[in-house]
Structure 1
Amino acid sequence: MSTRWSINITPAERAARIVLGAVAAVAGLLLLAGAGSVLAVTLELLLVVAGLDLVITGALGHCPLYARLGHVPASLKGRTS
């Protein structure tokens, strides 16, 4: 059974999520190389995961949190895709 997600992120927000997510993921990986403690490794891994989440939601155009909260940007109201 296939589930179709609706696009609930504006094109501008999608682009911003992809760019900022990529920057965060790369920064996390670079910082991870020099991590000196367990806490630093944990925080940098969280930064990488958060960055990847932004990239994925931006690429798909669907934010599960927005859907759960019922948030639909004004510019996307009434669209079916």
Structure 2
Amino acid sequence: MSNRWSINITPAERVARVAIGSLAAIAGVFLLGSAASTLVVVLELLLVLAGLDLVVTGALGHCPLYGRLGHVPASLKGRTS
């Protein structure tokens, strides 16, 4: 049994996830500097974490939610890696 995750995200989606996730994480960190209330801080931390999640899943090429749902993009069906 292999411990390696299968790639279940297309190359275009991987690039988009890394780009959008990076922007979200940077924006969240930038906004944290001007946070005025606890609710705003929590929401901005969630933005940073969501951005980091997108970066990691994009870099790895594996989305755990896609894996759990059994989703494989049509362009990746039949590939073994």
TM, length-normalised to structure 2: 0.97
SS of equivalent residue, structure 2 residue 8: coil
Unaligned runs of 5+ in 1: none
Q: Which runs of 4+ in 1 moved over 3 A?
A: none
Q: CA RMSD in A?
A: 1.2
The C-alpha deviation readout for 1:32-77, integer Å capped at 9, x for no partner, is 1100000000000000000000000000000000000000000000
Identity %: 77
Residue in 2 aligned with 1:11? 11
TM, length-normalised to structure 1: 0.97
In structure 2, how many angstroms separate the alpha carbons of the residues matched to 1:28 and 1:50?
Answer: 10
In structure 2, how many angstroms separate the alpha carbons of the residues matched to 1:38 and 1:30?
Answer: 16
Residue in 1 aligned with 2:69? 69
Unaligned runs of 5+ in 2: none
In structure 2, how many angstroms separate the alpha carbons of the residues matched to 1:2 and 1:26?
Answer: 35
In structure 1, how many angstroms separate the alpha carbons of the residues matched to 2:3 and 2:54?
Answer: 21
